[in-house]
Structure 1
Amino acid sequence: MNGPTTGSDVASRARAVQHLADRWIGNALATGKPAGGGSFVCSPAGLWLALAAVAAGARGETARELRALLGTADREAAPAVTAAARELALTGALEVATRVWSRVPVRDAYREALPDVRFDDLTDPAAADAWVREATGGLIERLPLAITDETLLALVNVLALKARWEKPFEGWLTRDRPFTDASGRTRPVPTMTKGVPLADVRVVDGTYVVELRCTAGEGGGEGARVRFVLGEPGAGAGQVLPAGWADRSTGTRPETDLVSIALPRLALRTRIAVTGQLPALGVRLATSDAADFSGLSPLPLAVSDVVQEAVLKVAEEGVEAAAVTVVAMRAGSAAPPPQRVLHLAFDRPFGIVVLPAATDVPLFAAWQADIPSGPGHAPSGPAHAPGGPAHI
């Protein structure tokens, strides 16, 4: 590390993840519809940590491209990755880990620059699957891609959150309410309701942002925060989700006295092939034969695949979320006067952003565009893996 971390360093890294989130969701996810119906869940923080760790071994023009997307690359990236991961790990109930499996020599300087990353020989892909399963508490069973003979190195980042709401929803208030998906189809879904303090609600560029806080968990630290973002009817993910990581000082309070919300129980799971999205994000050399990762290994390497699988479950008791990102390398009270009540029904496409306690880093971002499937009833279809019951 290069000296103590300052507030400006933390803010700079948060902005770097937000920049990646803006570009990734706006340029690829919101337009590419990686999951049936347009719903998805992803981890901007997980993708940033994985790509930035690989970028620590990039040099020359390859590093320049990655720096434009990530805000860091080359030799300064490793300290940034280490600091960012340690900052995120201060959030209670959040696990952060990165591991590298390799069949090729890895430079000593690269290993030493990433002191929190474990390096192993890539001899048994099942060992990587077992680590993913353990690190995510079973939310994700295995690597989201197959390790082949052509895979010379795999860098894997895991983010996993299992947290309870500070004030859980009352289960007896949950009942079926209508939800209208992006195509205009309406169906009844199990929907939770409760009052929310006005201080936890704001409007950012026409989008309602409701923040719910989680307890820290047994490990201490500060609890995570989850923002539910509801835009104007017809607004898409690229327009709505950025309000979820906007600075908490932005926006205005709604003109109301009380706020209640109606929020569907949900379970989302998405596997995203990021590799094909990288050119839209300005990264081309890293996946080409001209890639320069000479700071990582003395052998020539190029990125063959970047894949992320993420899952998010929201229920009465709390929230569970996990993401595995792999970079594979080849060769609110009644009063006597009438009060204005704002009832926010998340009964149409809406967004979800999970943040750490201290910064506005988007750990997870999700877009619920089709009919929600509650925990234990994960959506079916080729873009979704089966989801298990929530245990919170």
Structure 2
Amino acid sequence: MTAHVIPVQHVGQVREFAERLLTSVVRDAVVRDAYGDFTCSPAGLWLALSAVAAGAESGTARELRALLGVAGPEAALAVNEVTAQLAQTQGVAVATAVWARVAVYRAYRERLPDVRFGHLDPADVRAIDTWVREATGGMIRELPDRPKGEELLLLVNALELDGTWVSPRFKQEETSDQVFTDARGVEHFVPTMATSLPRPSYAWTVEAPSGAREDEVDVVALLCAEEAGRRPLQVSCVLGAPGRGPEEVLPAAWAAREHRRPIDADAVTIALPRLHLHTRLRAEQLLASLGAPLAVSDRADFSGMSPESLRVGRVAQESVLRIDEEGVRAAAVTQVWKRRLGVSGRVPRTRHIAFDRPFGLVVFAGDTGLPLFTAWQASAPRSPHV
């Protein structure tokens, strides 16, 4: 049995949303620390907002459709399709739930058959925290944003992944302290893994639209183990020229094949720091700049979800990403509060790619090109517990 393909239109919608999200995150400094580190889940945020958009009408639906690519009933269909297909990726678990203390239309619930619906008690969210812990394998233990009492409806999406490297493999004994130069130019010695790629086809250079070599980006693809009939996770490590930021570098991870140039070498070796990134994103601050201000205004129209007049109050996402010798593990919880209102005889050439300065990571659902997590490491990488 072969894993089904995620509809190409949804892959494009998530990619476009991810690029717009990156631009806003960098410009508005919503999630970044002083150095610029962050991790977030474009797929998780897209799924949560699309589930909300499934209940949008009129101008609110038009704005969310322009942002997400879907709204109204087709948004519910998209959420169902993407959720089902992500379940075909080895090591990925995704779940969505809604808790409400207002009426929710039966038609809305029926359009989202895989979504759990329950009663919301803002004064007691222990059951929701338990759901979050279980849905993320314990990586995230509670809601990112605690309720304040005025919330009428809460939609939560949880996305968790756990992958073991299959190609290339990193050996503990080959990890050593190497220099990492952070975004401020300060050098640090950090635990750095090393390996050789089984073949150069696992690494390539993405050419810049301008043709300028200083805008080219190197990409290294790391594959995780798979089971029969399920696609493997793929982690793309992306390294741009010194001084290039995440909005310029990360999209190279999903650049079209016609823009890729094979690395001119017989072998490729890499040096990659262990890392542990943890970010909390307040995304409602981004909705207006992303082109959907109505959703958070008193003119919001979610009349396809509930007879109650609702608007988006807060959108929060907590994301954790860990990379070590064993593999990759990540989790994200997105919550939306609503309130009213070949070999030759010559000497082989080896290309070494050292991720020893700010770099990015993108975790894909196999070769679908759908970005589950994006991350930017600009400060000295912090090692996970190994």
Structure 1 position 249, deviation (Å): 5.2
Q: Counterparts in 2 of 1:1-392, with a 5 A limit?
A: 10-29=7-26, 32=29, 34-36=31-33, 37-123=35-121, 124-167=124-167, 168-196=169-197, 197-205=199-207, 206-216=216-226, 221-248=230-257, 250-331=259-340, 336-376=345-385
Q: Which amino acid aligns with 1:134?
A: E
Q: Which amino acid aligns with 1:243?
A: A
- For residues 56 and 271 of structure 1, the distance between their equivalents in structure 2, rounded to whole angstroms, comes to 25
Please tell me whether the aligned partners of residues 209 and 227 of structure 1 are also in contact (alpha carbons under 8 angstroms). yes
Cα deviation, 1:229-273, whole Å, max 9, x if unaligned, reads 000111100000001122345411011111000000000000010
Please tell me whether the aligned partners of residues 57 and 302 of structure 2 are also in contact (alpha carbons under 8 angstroms). yes
Q: Which amino acid aligns with 1:269?
A: H
- For residues 185 and 295 of structure 1, the distance between their equivalents in structure 2, rounded to whole angstroms, comes to 53
Match of 1:384 in 2: none
Cα deviation, 1:163-183, whole Å, max 9, x if unaligned, reads 100142011000000000111
Structure 1 position 336, deviation (Å): 4.9
Structure 1 position 148, deviation (Å): 2.5
Please tell me whether the aligned partners of residues 33 and 39 of structure 1 are also in contact (alpha carbons under 8 angstroms). no
Please tell me whether the aligned partners of residues 165 and 225 of structure 2 are also in contact (alpha carbons under 8 angstroms). yes
- For residues 315 and 334 of structure 1, the distance between their equivalents in structure 2, rounded to whole angstroms, comes to 32
Normalized against structure 1, the TM-score is what? 0.91
Post-superposition, which runs of at least 4 consecutive aligned residues in structure 1 deviate over 3 A? Answer: 247-250, 333-336
More strand by share: 2
Cα deviation, 1:267-301, whole Å, max 9, x if unaligned, reads 00000101111111001000011100000001000
Secondary structure of the corresponding residue to residue 330 of structure 1: strand
Q: Which amino acid aligns with 2:158?
A: V
- For residues 242 and 26 of structure 2, the distance between their equivalents in structure 1, rounded to whole angstroms, comes to 19
Change (3 A) 1:327 1:320: same
Q: Which amino acid aligns with 1:215?
A: A
Q: 5+ unaligned residues in a row in structure 2: which ranges?
A: 208-215
Change (3 A) 1:317 1:249: farther
Secondary structure of the corresponding residue to residue 165 of structure 1: strand
Normalized against structure 2, the TM-score is what? 0.92
Please tell me whether the aligned partners of residues 57 and 293 of structure 1 are also in contact (alpha carbons under 8 angstroms). yes
Q: Percent identity?
A: 48
Structure 1 position 11, deviation (Å): 0.7
Match of 1:386 in 2: none
Change (3 A) 1:347 1:334: farther
Please tell me whether the aligned partners of residues 30 and 238 of structure 1 are also in contact (alpha carbons under 8 angstroms). no
Secondary structure of the corresponding residue to residue 53 of structure 1: helix
Structure 1 position 29, deviation (Å): 3.6
Q: 5+ unaligned residues in a row in structure 1: which ranges?
A: 1-5, 377-389
Secondary structure of the corresponding residue to residue 288 of structure 2: helix
Please tell me whether the aligned partners of residues 30 and 281 of structure 2 are also in contact (alpha carbons under 8 angstroms). no
Change (3 A) 1:189 1:308: same
Which shifted more, 101-110 or 196-205?
196-205
- For residues 356 and 343 of structure 2, the distance between their equivalents in structure 1, rounded to whole angstroms, comes to 25
Structure 1 position 357, deviation (Å): 1.6
RMSD: 1.7
Change (3 A) 1:76 1:157: same
Secondary structure of the corresponding residue to residue 307 of structure 2: coil
- For residues 138 and 189 of structure 1, the distance between their equivalents in structure 2, rounded to whole angstroms, comes to 27
Change (3 A) 1:29 1:104: farther
Secondary structure of the corresponding residue to residue 319 of structure 1: strand
- For residues 250 and 360 of structure 1, the distance between their equivalents in structure 2, rounded to whole angstroms, comes to 15
Structure 1 position 26, deviation (Å): 1.4
Secondary structure of the corresponding residue to residue 7 of structure 2: helix
Q: Which amino acid aligns with 1:146?
A: R
- For residues 358 and 88 of structure 2, the distance between their equivalents in structure 1, rounded to whole angstroms, comes to 32
- For residues 30 and 116 of structure 2, the distance between their equivalents in structure 1, rounded to whole angstroms, comes to 34
- For residues 337 and 358 of structure 1, the distance between their equivalents in structure 2, rounded to whole angstroms, comes to 34
Structure 1 position 76, deviation (Å): 1.3
Secondary structure of the corresponding residue to residue 261 of structure 2: coil
